[in-house]
A and B are shown apart, each in its own frame.
Chain A
């Protein structure tokens, strides 16, 4: 019997639950000094002067560095599509463009000495007009990057089909804000760098993608890739924000060379809130039209994406929003246009879902607006417009081809699990009775794209002479459970128990190639690679066993329980994995196989979430009573691990709907720069989730697996937001922007009255 599909308890957890993990900041690196960045406190200003004299002679200070000292070439563009006229310098040169932009780097013996020296630095700023809102950026009277001559950092303009809504009986339009949020990994960013005697660079990084850090460092320092050794030890979360080369991370090695010491930098939480990239930040104009029988005829989404002061991957998020614009619905006509603009705010990067939650939030809100307008139950409107199961592979009007799905079944399962009809009855009762606490029921029938950015992944499997195995993977987990999942995949092929399988990741010297863990790609790319490599090892072992047993390889079978090979029918004469590994030890690589797997395409997980909220109509307070989630990510390798991803995702998604927002005042000062002001979700704000899993295997890969890392976040946000609006719909409320804070809810009620 295969181990795949079983609830296998995570191998990595005993360590985390007892001694704890080892994060970059925990590493003892002999002789390491510390780096402290002095960051801009002004959102937009010309730097008149920087006075570093006093800091230079402060206790413990080894160096104080400004942009003028850095003789490195400008940072290479992170992605080819980004506007090269809007580059972020290593340290701010003459102008600062957001609060949090690094201006000065201090190297000191201890972190405390660095913090003290930072207070002795005086930066004279000449204020420049500040651009915080994206519409102002589009209008363009203030231009942040004069060389670019525009604030537009990226655009997807396909023209507007003016006849899009012709023939629609009903058209609803609404502007909605998919607010900026902060990823808040529990471990903030941390980097340590050391130049080795042979000229190689070792860098420890808290990252989701060590190989791309290696490549970025090699480029920045003019080294060959194999001259850079990147290690990511345990990583305490990333959520998409710990990918790619932040200037302040890449500069540590240069500082290390300058002072001739290994260096360590760990950002503080307050620093992380402004210096780690933010997510979402889309202003959306949604328009939906159709007929009164509930058929949706056309949909238009126009996006204004905030990319922050220096465009990074966040500027490109609208790509994914466009890809998933029409969601689970068969809509004949769909229009999408977007512009990304720079503002005096922290750069926007990818954050759990990266462009897809924005698409889902827009279409799910749109469907509810349409349902409210025609007076039809939102579940019924969905039922009438979902892509039917026999339509797959299904290509949307914008050209996205969904692999496989049964959206209707997910909807019906979710309605059933939530007791939808009874909920509506209870809602009617409370409305009738005019109760203060009203009930809201919100739906979200989502589909998303995983492994949306094409790429391959490396895996190597080796059986050692003692009969244990090691698998090396190019993906780099930071909480997702790869160690358990990859061991299961290899165990399934080899028969070697998971406790005897070591999973190695996050070290570019040991794992030659890799892409990383993001976009819910790991299992369907890296996992498949591991599975294939394991299969190749079995083939090799079979050949070897056949030779030793003087048999035809076709007659040799692997007894997975006994972990050995024998000729079919004569189990008494067998060769164990250890024996075969010893036999193969003379050959290069021993008993091992390597593979790079490139999947033929992306996969499309889907599901349906139902949120039940109680809204106190006097105080505006929203309480999530229930969150019912049906998720289908294809074949599930380990339900326990999948559920962990779903649970965290649901909480994070619900948090965007109700709690979280990064806010700036008109001068670009962050108002949410610590966890006292940024309302990070905790277990106290969410109910126990009710999850149901559906498994529709994808034909795209041999495991039948899709990604599950982001679905929870994608589905739950609109479900909760829709529930809040639903609770108030009888009062005439049609929309409440996120986060639906008590005050916003109160105002929406007051405005509707």
Chain B
């Protein structure tokens, strides 16, 4: 419950943050809302020697209309997504899901960038960005690059971000349909939470839908190809069962 001693640096620009990351390498950790990182540090499961606090980079907190997509600053708090009128109009599923995260305290601290960079398969926002077919923008010593959400999540708590990179923006296509885990955007994207070591697309369901299957039939294969783990909350079998039920409900909601 008491973290290992660490240095703390609060930065006022992205460049400053990148400079510190370059100096300290993987000894350093970015601190955004702290709601995933600090619990791990208190359990001494994460032991960074330098914390680079990017929490006050207010210019990375925004939700903007960028034509075909909506651009979201990585430091945007869950609460700001939840209450964003732009998201409500253009990407309602993201606003809806942000409003489901934890409790008000968590939503006022946690950031979308932190949630994605943490790469927890049990988190909500990564799955939504994945289902939406979003794009992530990162800056590192070599400049800026974009990463498709599809190839961002590499393993349990592992992402495509390098230790010297900072996530600056998340871009999500406009998609006007609300649904718990499904999004329609010409095609239908379905992503699953907690069904493997990363957030996953329910590819069998997506393929079935593309081939014209009914919602019921498409949902029935939602767990295909997944390898959920078991814990006190649910066994792998139960998770597979839940995936079919919840995907069906989400598709029905999206279709109605």
**Given known A746-B238, A746-B241, contact A663–B2 (CB-CB < 8 A):** no
Chain B residues near A377 (CB-CB < 8 A): none
Q: How far is the CA of A525 from the CA of B4 in the complex (A)?
A: 49
Q: B2 and A115: CB pair below 8 A?
A: yes
A480 to chain B, nearest CB (A): 27
A291 within 8 A of B: no
B235 in contact with A676 (CB, 8 Å) = no
Complex interface bits, A265-288 against B, C-beta within 8 A gives 1, otherwise 0:
000111100000000000000000
A112 in contact with B232 (CB, 8 Å): no
The digit string for A100-121, where 1 denotes a CB below 8 A from any CB of B, is 0000000000011001100100
Over the window 38-72 of chain B, the binary record of Cβ atoms lying under 8 Å from chain A Cβ atoms (1 yes, 0 no) is 01000110000000000000000000000000000
A434 to B2, CA, bound (A): 52
- Interchain CA distance A119-B4 in the complex, whole Å: 10
A671 within 8 A of B: yes
Assembled-state Cα–Cα distance A676/B44 (Å): 15
Q: How many whole Å from B256's CB to the nearest CB in chain A? A: 16
* Beta-carbon nearest neighbor of B246 in chain A: A619
A741-B233, A743-B238 as given contacts; A619 in contact with B245, CB under 8 Å? yes
A677 interfacial contact with B, CB 8 Å = yes
Q: Is B211's CB within 8 Å of the partner chain A?
A: no
A751 to B43: give the CA distance in the assembly, Å.
40
Partner of A270, one of B1, B103, B245, B246: B1
Contacts known (A743-B234, A746-B238); A618 close to B245, Cβ less than 8 A:
yes
In the complex, what residues of B have CB within 8 A of residue A741's CB? 233
Residues of A within 8 A of B238 (CB): 620, 742-743, 746-747
| Distance in angstroms between the alpha carbons of A34 and B111 in the assembled complex | 36
Which chain B residues border A672 with CB–CB below 8 Å? 232
Count A interface residues, CB 8 Å. 24
Given A112-B5, A115-B2, A116-B4, CB of A742 within 8 Å of CB of B43 = no
Name B207-251 residues within 8 Å CB distance of A. Answer: 231-235, 238, 241-242, 245-246
Closest CB in chain B relative to A195 CB, distance in Å: 27
List B contacts of A674 (CB < 8 A).
Answer: 43
Which residues of chain A come closer than 8 Å to B39, judged between CB atoms?
A: 676
Query: How far does the Cβ of A388 sit from chain B's closest Cβ, in whole Å?
Result: 45
Instruction: For A119, list chain B residues within 8 Å (CB).
Output: 44
A112 touches B235 (CB 8 A): no
| Count class of interface residues, chain B | 10 to 19
Bound together, the chains give a CA A747 to CA B44 distance in angstroms of 37
- CB atoms of B43 and A270 under 8 A apart: yes
Q: Are B242 and A619 in contact, with the CB atoms below 8 A?
A: yes
Contact check, B1 vs A269: say whether CB atoms are below 8 A apart. yes
Within 8 A of A (CB), among B80-106: 103
Interface string of B1-30 (1 = CB under 8 A from A): 110110000000000000000000000000
**Chain A residue, CB-CB nearest to B245:** A618
CB–CB A742/B232 < 8 A? no
- Per-residue 0/1 for A127-167: is the Cβ within 8 Å of any B Cβ (1 yes, 0 no)? 00000000000000000000000000000000000000000
**Chain B: CB-nearest residue to A116:** B4
Q: Quick one: which of A268, A677, A747 contacts B1, CB cutoff 8 A?
A: A268
The residues of A that contact B241 with a CB separation of less than 8 Å are: 746
- On chain B, the residues within 8 Å of A742 by CB distance are 234, 238, 242
Cα distance A115–B43 in the bound complex, in angstroms: 11
Q: A270 contacts which chain B residues (CB < 8 A)?
A: 1, 43
How far is the CB of A616 from the nearest CB of chain B, in Å?
9
Max count, chain A CB within 10 A of own CB: residue among B2, B5, B44, B241: B2
Which residues of the other chain, A, contact B2 by a CB distance below 8 angstroms?
111-112, 115, 268
Q: Is the CB of B4 within 8 A of A743?
A: no
Q: Interface readout for A640-664 with B: 1 if CB under 8 Å, 0 if not?
A: 0000000000000000000000010
* Interface mask (A593-624 → B, CB under 8 Å = 1, otherwise 0): 00000000000000000000000001110000
Q: What's the least CB distance linking B195 to chain A, in Å?
A: 15
Chain B residues near A112 (CB-CB < 8 A): 2, 5
Instruction: Report the separation of the CA atoms of residues A115 and B47 in the bound assembly, to the nearest whole angstrom.
Output: 13
Q: How far is the CB of B55 from chain A (nearest CB, A)?
A: 22
Q: Which 9 A-B pairs have the closest CB atoms?
A: A268-B1, A115-B2, A743-B238, A618-B245, A112-B2, A743-B234, A671-B232, A619-B245, A663-B232
A-B contact pairs, 29 of them (CB 8 A): A111-B2, A112-B2, A112-B5, A115-B1, A115-B44, A116-B5, A119-B44, A268-B1, A268-B2, A270-B1, A270-B43, A271-B1, A618-B245, A619-B242, A619-B246, A663-B232, A671-B231, A671-B232, A672-B232, A674-B43, A677-B232, A684-B103, A741-B233, A742-B242, A743-B235, A743-B238, A746-B238, A746-B241, A747-B238
Seed contacts A619-B246, A677-B232, A742-B234; 18 additional CB < 8 Å A-B pairs: A111-B2, A112-B2, A112-B5, A115-B44, A116-B5, A268-B1, A270-B43, A618-B245, A619-B245, A671-B231, A672-B232, A674-B43, A676-B39, A741-B233, A743-B233, A743-B238, A746-B241, A747-B238
